[in-house]
Amino acid sequence: MTTKRAGRLAIDGGAPVRTTFLPYARQTIEAEDEAAVLAALRSDWLTTGPRIRELEVALEEVTGARHAVLFSSGTAALHGAMAVLDIAPGDEVVTTPMTFSATANATLYVGGEVRFADVRPDTLLLDPDAVRTATTPRTRAIVATDYAGQPADYGALRSVAEAAPGGPVALVADAAHSLGGSRAGVRVGQLADMTILSLHPAKIVTTGEGGAVLTDRDEWPERLRRFRNHGISTELGARRDWRYDLVELGYNYRLTDIGAALGLAQLGRLERFITRRQAIAARYREAFAGEERFDLPVTDPDVEHARHLYVVQLRLDRLGVDRAAVYAAMKAEGIGVNVHYIPVHQLSLYRERYPDVSMPVADAAYERMLTLPLFPAMTDGDVDDVVAAMTKVLDAYPR
């Protein structure tokens, strides 16, 4: 239930736009999800069972990728990707600062070094020219993030990867935001050598916690499966007796059948989820048309955007207040805004490790960005509440 009233800001004691809090993201759980999870709970397999492969096959069909390998999280999938690329001490991986820290952390997990490249000021996607400058003879991979749900420019990045100073390097898509999207008619899952999915509750579809690696390369899936299963040579369902062998160091990064059951039910509604996300984004764009106090997200013309996040950039020179004040005021109005992301190189671990890194575009964007709520279960009334709150707050802070 919402209540719209003009007047003082809620943070100053006025009535809020909403009396019930609207988060920036929320999973969509329906009866078929509950039934699928209950069926898994009542089955003989809570983990290492048949639903794992069923969901992998479903992901292959949806994305067009030749292989899908499930993991317990998107972070685990990134770790697996770096491991099978044989990133080792002395190797460098070029990536974006405008992402969640896991994208960069995976390189450190395997002993490699991170080299950041700046982003484009319009889309906040990894800038191919900046990547070209960042590559060295030690570069072994480029990891792009499909920021907010928009696939990166993998055509341009492929050219950079193939012309790297030390020879061609792997191109990895961190597609945690972009399942269901495409660029130039090519679906996410087929744009890079490896594509990493997150199946976290805030993402496009969820398994609770979960992730996956997609690839067309036949030599990687077996290694990825060993990596997620302690380094054991055969998975439980393939063994004829009690014997198995440990052939390399791996981790317990397995997804449960309970999570896979949820993911299978969710994946069947992927198209509906994307359509609703795009409709919400369109409603924001229409409502904010002509707004001069912030910039709306920019989408490249050849992109099918998955709309995981809706990030606006405040024009601070046209406001009488900073982003922190707008953030606090919106929260008080019942609107769960957020900020995506603190650039990774600004975080203490990376600032101490790479003290000389400067990313001017990412740094400037960070000071202005604000994430508005967007998830499929939002009603048009919810969107209107966000618009009303944003207008109310900005009107309260004239330049």
Does the annotation count 203 as an active-site position? yes
Contacts (Cβ under 8 Å, ≥6 apart) of 70:
52, 55, 56, 59, 210, 211, 212, 228, 254, 255, 260
Sheet-wide strand order for 294-295: 294-295, 310-314, 369-372
The two three-digit tokens of residue 344, written as one number: 């990774």
**CA separation for the pair 112, 88 (Å, rounded):** 5
Question: CA-CA distances (angstroms) from residue 393 to 297, 322, 337?
Answer: 20, 12, 13
Rounded CA gap, 298 and 155, in Å?
19
Q: Which amino acid is at 390?
A: M
SS3 89: coil
Question: 4, 203, 331, 392: which is the annotated catalytic residue?
Answer: 203
CB-count burial class (<10 Å; 0-12, 13-18, 19+) for 328? middle
| DSSP per residue, 176-198 | TTTTT-EETTEETTSSSSEEEEE
Return the active site residues. 203
